[in-house]
Amino acid sequence: MAIGVIARLSVQEGKNEEFEVLFTQLQEAVNANEDGCNFYAIHQSRTDSQSYTVLEQYADEEAAAAHGKTEHYRRIGAQLGACMAGEAEIELLDSI
């Protein structure tokens, strides 16, 4: 069963450009290196420029769990932390 993830991220004022450059690197690394990831894409809110949503889908629980353990996720994720305005809101979904 595929696993969906919605991650809502809030970015500090003045950090959008840095955040977007780093997240683009992460998105490219995920899509190139994680065979179990069906898609991984970020979107910016039309009403709140500091709010981003990441839409993700993994082939199964194992692929979803492996994502957070990858070198690229750990390295770029640590850099992204300096841009964040708070904790990410994560929602897990089961495919039907």
Each domain of the chain, given as residue ranges in start order, spans: 3-94
pLDDT 10s digits, 3-16: 999 999 999 999 99
Whether 20 contacts 93, CB under 8 Å: no
Fold of 3-94: Alpha-Beta Plaits (3.30.70)
Question: Which H or E element spans position 38?
Answer: strand 37-44
Chain Cα centroid distance, residue 60: 17
Q: How confident is the model at residue 27 (pLDDT cuts 50, 70, 90)?
A: very high
Question: How many Cβ atoms from other residues are within 10 Å of residue 62's Cβ?
Answer: 10
pLDDT 10s digits, 54-85: 999 999 999 999 999 999 999 999 999 999 99
Chain Cα centroid distance, residue 77: 9
Q: How confident is the model at residue 35 (pLDDT cuts 50, 70, 90)?
A: very high
| pLDDT score at 5 | 98
